[in-house]
Amino acid sequence: MGKYIKAPRIIDAIQWRGNNADEIQALLGGEVHASEDHLVIPYSGGNMSVAKGYYIVKETSTSDPILMSEFKFNLKYTEKK
């Protein structure tokens, strides 16, 4: 039996700050619906509600976005320098 290491993946992500819907729309390549405190993102299963402070993660060009709290995001990812 061999041991394997999962190669690190580079992802695209942005934190919803309440005033950056245009950046999120550019990341996802589609329409988003925003108010000051709330964001709705369409995805293959319907609509996803995003609370302010959450990260929207795009792992591949074809995958649905993933939502993560700031705490969970910071545990899992480090910024590429």
pTM over the 0.85 mark: no
Q: Where are the domains of the chain?
A: 12-74
Element (H, E) at 15: strand 12-15
Express each pLDDT in 39-81 by its tens digit: 999 888 899 999 999 999 988 766 789 999 999 998 888 887 7
Express each pLDDT in 29-43 by its tens digit: 888 999 877 899 988
Q: Which amino acid is at 2?
A: G
Give the 3-state secondary structure of residue 22.
Answer: helix
